[in-house]
């Protein structure tokens, strides 16, 4: 999978020692797809957040990132845990709906202001991994370009001036890429995978959002 990224408030210097491993892990990851069950999209192939999460988790844990670090109880109004932490950098994988980005950004900034430690370290930077608009995905889920617009507006008013690297998973329209295609027994309710196989996906250009076509 390809990567776009953008930095705020001096994130590059802080995250660079940790970046190479993440970049390689994403580059080697096949695109994860599933069949959509949303009205108007049934049967279309869309981005699979669950499969992508698992693949990222495996790579990050192997690289020494601590997964699912509990947020201290006085701060659990902001969520129960952070996705990953290593060397004072928080990493959130955010494929959920768009308000989660400001939740992740503001809470991490507040943790740093209020000296809230994770694995004994106060957060000094935040990495947020999301997917780019080019990927067909569930309605109202965050995408990189939207997140970048949000963070640009935050930065313009100097609200929560904290080192952030925003990362977007992407593929080039017009290319053909390896993918893993997951089918669930009942797409909305079940997490029981019925079938999961390596295939090839054509990223067909279709305006700002591509179409995933299995070959």
Using CB under 8 A, list all residues that contact its own copies: 75, 77-79, 97-100, 102-103, 106-107, 109-110, 113-114, 146-147, 149-150, 153-154, 156-157, 159-160
Comparison of 73 and 215: residue with beta carbon closer to its own copies: 73
Dist CA 84 CA 90 (whole Å) = 6
Dist CA 211 CA 129 (whole Å) = 21
Comparison of 17 and 99: residue with beta carbon closer to its own copies: 99
* Residue 203 DSSP SS3: strand
Least distance to its own copies, CB of residue 156, Å: 7
Least distance to its own copies, CB of residue 50, Å: 17
Closest CA to 186 of 46, 34, 30: 34
Comparison of 109 and 212: residue with beta carbon closer to its own copies: 109
- Interacting residues of 125 by C-beta distance below 8 A, sequence separation 6+: 11, 14, 15, 88, 89, 90, 162, 163, 164, 165
Dist CA 22 CA 192 (whole Å) = 28
Closest CA to 168 of 95, 106, 107, 108: 95
Least distance to its own copies, CB of residue 92, Å: 12
Q: What's the count of helices (H) and strands (E) in the chain, helices before strands?
A: 4, 11
Comparison of 158 and 215: residue with beta carbon closer to its own copies: 158
Tokens in use for 57? 């988790």
Least distance to its own copies, CB of residue 53, Å: 17
Least distance to its own copies, CB of residue 149, Å: 4
- Angle of helix 49-62 relative to helix 11-28, nearest 10 degrees? 110
Comparison of 54 and 149: residue with beta carbon closer to its own copies: 149
Least distance to its own copies, CB of residue 201, Å: 28
Comparison of 188 and 198: residue with beta carbon closer to its own copies: 188
* Residue 91 DSSP SS3: strand
């Amino acid at each position: 999978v390809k990567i776009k990224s953008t930095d705020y408030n001096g994130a590059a210097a802080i995250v660079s020692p940790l970046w190479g491993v993440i970049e390689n892990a994403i580059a080697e990851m096949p695109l994860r797809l599933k069949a959509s069950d949303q009205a108007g999209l049934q049967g279309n192939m869309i981005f699979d957040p669950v499969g992508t999460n698992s693949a990222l988790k495996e790579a990050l844990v192997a690289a020494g990132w601590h997964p699912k670090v509990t947020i201290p109880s006085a701060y659990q109004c902001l969520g129960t845990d952070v996705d990953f932490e290593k060397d004072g950098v928080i990493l959130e994988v955010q494929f959920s709906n768009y308000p989660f980005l400001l939740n992740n950004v503001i809470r991490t900034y507040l943790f740093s202001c209020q000296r809230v430690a994770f694995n004994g370290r106060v957060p000094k930077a935040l990495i947020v991994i999301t997917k780019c608009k080019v990927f067909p995905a569930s309605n109202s889920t965050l995408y990189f370009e939207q997140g970048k617009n949000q963070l640009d507006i935050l930065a313009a008013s100097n609200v929560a001036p904290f080192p952030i690297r925003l990362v977007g998973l992407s593929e080039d329209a017009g290319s053909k890429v390896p993918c893993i295609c997951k089918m669930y027994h009942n797409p909305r309710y079940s997490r029981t995978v019925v079938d999961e196989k390596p295939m090839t996906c054509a990223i067909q250009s279709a305006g700002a959002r591509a179409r995933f076509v299995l070959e």
